Chains A and B, each alone.
Chain A
Amino acid sequence: MIETIHNWLYSTMPQGVASIVEMILIALAYLGFFAIAGLFLVLMERKVAAWFQLRIGPNRVGFYGSLQTMADALKLLSKELTGTAKADKFLYNLAPYFVIISALMGLAVFPFTKDIQAFDINIGIFFLIAISSIGVIGILLGGWASNNKFALIGAMRSGVQAISYELSIGLSLLTMILITGSLQLSEIVEVQKNGWLIIQGHIPAIIAFMIYMIAGTAETNRAPFDMVEAESELGAGFHTEYSGMKFAYFFLAEFINMFIIAAIATTVFFGAWLSPFGITESIPWLGVFWFLGKTLVLIFLMMWFRWTFPRLRIDQLLTLEWKYLLPINLVNIVIMALIVWLNLTIKF
């Protein structure tokens, strides 16, 4: 189907226009899909929360509450956009777009199947790290421009957290890059045809995966690392003053970031669209289901964290990163380098 649209575009329009139109169409498809996927992630979070707390959760709108978050989104769209009188209006309005755009840009590089990958850039993973380091600016700006002390404290905490944990994410992914020898996501998947990287790299890969999941949870500001919006201390943290659609942007960005963290883990550790033992190798389009399935399992893991661990204090959070995760990570990289050098990786 994609092929026919591609051919039709190039046959009816001059080449330059056709390529621009094609880019816009792809962007719109991604945007539509992930806006709705984000809503269903919110629903999943609520259902998982209910399950962990022995409640029923949303169950009125649609089949077993399946349309609840859609209704919530429509409600948020129609709400008034409030703001504070003494806020810095320009930065206040700019902040949500920073957060949502940097979240959406990251989605472009994931290989959903062998053929569905919008942007196969040769620095794949590094591009994702670069993009994710920009999102925090939106949070800092939003917190400062609200002219609200709780928002400011929330934003500062978020900045500290993001800067520290970015290091762990980068280093744990670097550990895996030692096996693949390439930053390009499609090549990383290619390497994993001999076994997923978490099996190829065995012990150091599992340590790297654990560090990655801890740091990823912290990077998305989710419990147990949600000091940014610790309700009991800070109200709603950096988005205290936001309402309506702008709040919805922050909220959606949080869930898309969670999807990105899980999708990176799927791609780097669990073979992206490759099926286990190659059972569906003859049907390539099934890759989408494997990719999304693995990602959803990892997202469920992050939700599981949220309802299992109590919230850390800010000093405990920084101690965890700088005194434990970082040294473990550095040693882990050396071990991984030795394993790759001595050819001790497990390959099928």
Chain B
Amino acid sequence: MERYIFYIVAFIMIVFAIASVSSRKMLRSVVYLLFVLMGIAGIFFLIDYNFLAAIQLTVYAGGIIVLMIFSVLLVHHIEMELEVAKISKQLITGLICLAGLGVFLTTIYSHEFTVVENSISTTTTDIGTKMLSYEAGGFILPFEVISVLLLAAMIGAIIIAKGEKLEDGRQETED
């Protein structure tokens, strides 16, 4: 049964991915993209990797898509439609996409996948201990580096949002 569910989810994802790039209404594209991202979460659920599925839902569906919808709400009017690109541009994009797909498929099919007989679901405890372990195979260094990077991004965002101060120390009127 899982095989059929996988094919259904994959089919939905492909249909919505195509719809997302071909729709001429901006917010509809975002919603189609949301369905694709939910499909990915569905596949994570299917392989019993619940934690990553929930992360996918919170970060991508709940976070990034909401931010995208926000920016669309701010700049886009309901009657506006996106322009259709020139034929030459469409062709070039199509060719590049096909080339990318070819690279993906050759790598996937040239790889020898080993079938795991009895699957185990990954628990948050496993992920947590792996993340903080400093022994061989632990991920403490990337974890810390990413947290420093995020801190830097946050400070950068605050500084950009704060705006510049004028020479005589007054804040800009926009603040």
By a beta-carbon cutoff of 8 Å, the part of chain A in contact with chain B is 16, 19-20, 86-88, 90-91, 94, 121-123, 126-127, 129-131, 133-134, 136-137, 140-141, 144-145, 147, 152, 155-156, 159, 162-163, 166, 182-183
Query: Which residues of A sit under 8 angstroms from B54, Cβ to Cβ?
Result: 123, 126-127, 129-130
Q: Which residues of A contact B57 (CB under 8 A)?
A: 130-131, 133-134
Is there an interface contact between A136 and B66, defined as CB atoms closer than 8 Å?
A: yes
Set of chain A residues within 8 Å of B1, measured between Cβ atoms? 16, 19-20
Chain A nearest Cβ from B6, distance in angstroms: 15
Of all chain B residues, the one with the shortest Cβ separation from A181 is B125
B48 to chain A: closest residue by CB: A122
Which of A16, A20, A91, A123 meets B31, CB within 8 Å? A91
Residues in B whose Cβ lies below 8 Å from that of A166: 62
Is B90 an interface residue, CB under 8 A from the partner? no
Specify the chain A residue showing the minimal Cβ separation from B124. Answer: A183
Number of residues of chain B lying within 8 A (CB) of chain A: 28
CB neighbours (8 Å) of B62 from chain A are 130, 133-134, 136-137, 166
Given contacts A130-B58, A133-B62, A134-B62, contact A87 B73 (CB under 8 A): no
CA distance A143 to B65 in the complex (A): 16
Given A91-B31, A141-B31, A144-B73, A123 contacting B51 (CB threshold 8 A): yes
Do B50 and A91 have beta carbons less than 8 Å apart?
no
| B121 CB-CB contact with A under 8 Å | yes
- Interface mask (B56-92 → A, CB under 8 Å = 1, otherwise 0): 0110011101100110110000110000000000000
The distance from the CB of B128 to the nearest CB of chain A, in whole angstroms, is 10
Give 17 new A-B contacts, CB below 8 A, not counting A130-B55, A144-B69.
Answer: A19-B1, A20-B1, A88-B28, A121-B50, A130-B57, A133-B57, A133-B61, A133-B62, A133-B66, A136-B62, A137-B66, A140-B73, A144-B78, A147-B78, A152-B73, A159-B70, A183-B124
